[in-house]
Amino acid sequence: MGDDSVVARLGSLKALLGIVAGAGASYGIYKLVFGRTGDEVNRKKSAKRVTIQPGSLMSKVSGFKVVSKSDNLDPCADSESSDIHSKSAASLEPRHLSMLLSLLQSSPNPDERRKVLVTLGNAAAFTVNQDLLREFGGLHIIAGFLSDPSPEVRVQTLNALNNLSMNIRNQEQLKVYVPSVMQLIEMSPMNSDLQLAALRLLTNLSVTDNHQHLMKNSITLLLSLLVVSNEVLQIQVLKVLVNLSSNPDLMDDIVQAQAPASLILLFDGCTSTSVLLRLLCFVGNLRAWRPSAQVAEALRRRQDSLYCVLLDSSSQLHRKLPLLLSHPEEEVKSQVARLLT
């Protein structure tokens, strides 16, 4: 009897993984651009040991040289609880969410953990499930997999947290993971799905000014990422920067941040319109800040500060902006005209 009940329970849990196939997560399932890890490493050990991935932002900026067994469930149990297969993410019951959280914590199989996180992420697109998962302690359980050895699991963890962060009350619990998310961005391969998923989570957490201060020490990281990433990541980085620069209380930290000189090269007709528009919006927010003469003089002595690169009278931006008045997109020309007046 004991063995039969265990098999039945595992069958029910396994069936849950297919509940929302076709429903789709808010941001989809991303295919990672870097390979799977080898044998599974204990999560507690991996949380203490950070590896700089080849091609990551850290390796590009710092110049550092960068040097499973699957547990199969009884296939006969798949036919049990067949009614669960027909449920949508919106119709998941509280007990289903609780069962999924239990399976997530107990499964030694990284692919099974990934599937559970996909299902939880899809379920978290609904407000009622966002609240239930918070009440079940699910936010901290899910966030615990930010340090999972499997890159695919980490991506799906971020996707699930992204949906959960749509809930303001959930953000209060998720804010403590901002440093971990920043570290993932810094250490992950450039232009990877992991970086993209992390930036999307930060975008949600920076929509209001409640938690923006937690990101003020990462301005240089975001600016560095902006100049070396592809268009998709550039747009996501700029969404975060525009959010942060809309907060006057953060402006001192932003303008003092170290900025790559090559940032100025993005203000060009060859830059994607989507990127350029957000860049111009970012500059508009920066220009709304008015430093005292004493502060401005102190900033001028830091030639690598964002203030010198974009705002100071010696900045090349003053020469680049008028050239954009001939841009084919009317919205770009309109934003440039506002900056020049």
pLDDT of residue 89: 72
Distance CA 98, CA 341 (A): 57
- What is the CATH number assigned to the segment(s) 9-62+88-205? 1.25.10.10
Residue 12's pLDDT band, with cuts at 50, 70 and 90, is low
- Give percent of the chain above pLDDT 70: 74
Residue 53's pLDDT band, with cuts at 50, 70 and 90, is low
Instruction: Specify the range with the lowest mean pLDDT, choosing from 171-185, 270-284, 290-304.
Output: 290-304
Prediction pTM value: 0.77
pLDDT of residue 68: 33
pLDDT of residue 84: 37
Higher pLDDT, 173 or 14: 173
198 to each of 20, 43, 157, 254, 269, how far by Cα in Å?
23, 19, 10, 20, 29
74: left (phi over 0), alpha (psi -120 to 50) or beta: beta
Higher pLDDT, 133 or 294: 133
pLDDT of residue 292: 80
User: What is the pLDDT averaged over residues 221-242?
Assistant: 98
Instruction: Specify the range with the lowest mean pLDDT, choosing from 45-49, 133-137, 277-281, 306-310.
Output: 45-49
Residue 293's pLDDT band, with cuts at 50, 70 and 90, is confident
Higher pLDDT, 79 or 161: 161
Give yes or no for residue 103 having a pLDDT over 50: yes
pLDDT of residue 70: 37
Pair 145, 178: CB distance under 8 Å: no
User: What is the pLDDT averaged over residues 190-208?
Assistant: 97
Distance CA 209, CA 199 (A): 17
Distance CA 163, CA 98 (A): 18
Residue 7's pLDDT band, with cuts at 50, 70 and 90, is very low
Give yes or no for residue 54 having a pLDDT over 70: no
- The single residue listed with the structure tokens 């010198």 is 308
pLDDT per residue as tens digits for the range 248-280: 999 999 999 999 999 999 999 999 999 999 999
Give yes or no for residue 64 having a pLDDT over 70: no
Backbone torsions φ then ψ of 286, nearest 5 degrees? -65, -40
Bridge partner residues of 258 (DSSP): 305
